[in-house]
Structure 1
Amino acid sequence: MASGLQIQGDESVLLRVTHSNLKSFSADIRFSLQITVESVKEKLWRKCGTSVNSMGLQLYDDTNTKISDLTDNSRPFGFYSPLDGYRLHVIDLDPASVTSGGWLEDTSLVEKYSISEEAYEKRDGTFRKFKGKLTSQNPSTPGNKLGDRCEVEPGEKRGTVKFVGLAENLAPGYWVGVQYDEPLGKHDGMVKGVRYFDCPPLHGAMVRPDKVKIGNYPERDLFEVDEI
């Protein structure tokens, strides 16, 4: 081991990091050779959850041969002569650690959240209530199916439902994407860089459910005139 290693400038190495408890954990992380072993542990703590005081470190070369145990927290990391491509192995020494027992990897060990039907029915803003609201606008038709004909207020603009759901880049709550029969919209189904549906340019609109009526709304005849 080269205890007299001279570290120049801001030299750093790119190492593959593995963990004793997290079998699926593998990350390529760059470390400065000037920081202490304790600082290396602090950086790894943020990555894998093992506390600094419970962490042991082993350095392996590119042939998977162990080079050394990093036992002195006060030494600069470069003292142990790591090179690009080497592996830094984290050993969690705490039997009660959050990483032990597979809790962070095996989702079957996690208690699942559940809610009763009664409690769900009392909640506002659920998708079930949204669907019911659309259906109540015209009980004879399903109110949430893609392809349903609709009419949008204001303006009695007719079209086809092309999207129903959340649109996080617009505003909270549910939205209905409509393809108008005529170029009365604002886009082609893409809004703020997110594509919600496809339609011809200026035929698309994203509107709130209370503006949409579902029903038998055929396309208007372009040559239709009022009787005199």
Structure 2
Amino acid sequence: MASSLLQIPVDDSIVLRVTHSNINSFSADIRFSLQMTVEAVKEKLWKKCGTTVDSMCLELYDDSGDKVSVLGDNTRPLGFYSPRDGYRLHVIDIDPSSITSGGWLDNTSLVEKYKISEEAYDKLDGTYRKLKEKLGCQHSSHESKISDSYMKDLCANIKIGDRCQVEPGERRGVIKFVGIAETLAPGFWVGVQYDEPLGKHDGMVKGKRYFDCPPLCGGMVRPDKVKVGDFPERDPFEEEEI
């Protein structure tokens, strides 16, 4: 006499929509092998929804919402109950002290929130606030070490109106500003109007206007990134020779 296991194709599997009696928001499409025992199905669901195997009852519903069967024998394969793709497997948690009971997994307002005063938080080490303060201090310290004459010598041959090329990217344009930028880090900066919209602004940086140019054609870079010389505007219709 052939057992029910032999009547189920070895590689057969289905997708069931899983719901939970205590968690209204829980709904998942999960694939199961028809060879799995009901106990194995419960083990898989326990890891998904938190209801233990011993506290779990399973009911199978068809795609029209009618109950097909109760999976009451843990030793039988899932395929014994003739589930089909799209059927719903409903988990019922019968443990009144279960972690899923009381509705708190659906309604977070029922969970007591941990609160800490500003004074106590400030005394803690390793917080995000302390890290942010530390990084801010390091940034300020780094800027304080840069003098106002930083890279001034590199600006000796850079004049407003010069054609230039900015690295990286070989972006070509014209010099529009040379000097100290109050809204940027200390040292000398070069303002460039790119031939194409490869920049970040129109010459206004952090609320201060250093020059005028079309939107997204302006850039403020350090002098060491700028080469002045014979850098004519590229012809957009120029084709490379084959």
Q: Give TM-score scaled by structure 2 length.
A: 0.56
Counterpart CA distance in 2 for 1:58 and 1:82 is: 11
Give the equivalent residue in structure 2 for 1:146: none
Give the equivalent residue in structure 2 for 1:151: 143
Q: Shift of the alpha carbon at 1:121?
A: 1.8
Seen in structure 2, the aligned counterparts of structure 1 residues 220 and 82 have a Cα distance that, compared at 3 Å, is same
Say whether the 8 Å CA contact 2:143–2:185 is kept in structure 1. Answer: no
Counterpart CA distance in 2 for 1:183 and 1:153 is: 25
Give the equivalent residue in structure 1 for 2:189: 220
Q: Which amino acid aligns with 1:151?
A: E
> Where in structure 1 are there 5+ consecutive unaligned residues?
144-149, 158-181, 188-199, 201-213
Counterpart CA distance in 2 for 1:63 and 1:221 is: 71
Give the equivalent residue in structure 1 for 2:12: 11
Quick check: 1:81 aligned with 2:82? Answer: yes
Counterpart CA distance in 2 for 1:117 and 1:48 is: 36
> Where in structure 2 are there 5+ consecutive unaligned residues?
152-165, 172-182, 192-222, 224-242
Q: Please say which of residues 123-132 and 24-33 is displaced more in the overlay.
A: 123-132
Seen in structure 2, the aligned counterparts of structure 1 residues 136 and 46 have a Cα distance that, compared at 3 Å, is closer
Counterpart CA distance in 1 for 2:26 and 2:16 is: 13
Q: Shift of the alpha carbon at 1:128?
A: 3.7
Summarize deviations over 1:78-97 as a string: whole Å, max 9, x none.
10000111110001111111
Give the equivalent residue in structure 1 for 2:115: 114
Q: Find the residue that maps to 2:19 and give its secondary structure.
A: strand
Percent of residue pairs bearing the same amino acid type: 61
Counterpart CA distance in 1 for 2:102 and 2:28 is: 21
Q: Shift of the alpha carbon at 1:29?
A: 0.5
Which entry has the higher C-alpha Rg, 1 or 2?
2
Seen in structure 2, the aligned counterparts of structure 1 residues 9 and 128 have a Cα distance that, compared at 3 Å, is closer
Q: Shift of the alpha carbon at 1:119?
A: 2.1
Aligned pairs (5 A) from 1:37-48: 37-48=38-49
Q: Which amino acid aligns with 1:217?
A: P
Q: Give TM-score scaled by structure 1 length.
A: 0.59
Give the equivalent residue in structure 2 for 1:172: none
Aligned pairs (5 A) from 1:26-65: 26-65=27-66
Structure 1 runs of 4+ with >4 Å offset: 130-133, 135-138, 152-157
Q: Shift of the alpha carbon at 1:125?
A: 3.8
Seen in structure 2, the aligned counterparts of structure 1 residues 16 and 116 have a Cα distance that, compared at 3 Å, is same
Number of aligned positions between the proteins: 161
Counterpart CA distance in 2 for 1:101 and 1:124 is: 36
Q: Shift of the alpha carbon at 1:110?
A: 1.3
Counterpart CA distance in 1 for 2:72 and 2:82 is: 14
Aligned pairs (5 A) from 1:118-129: 118-129=119-130
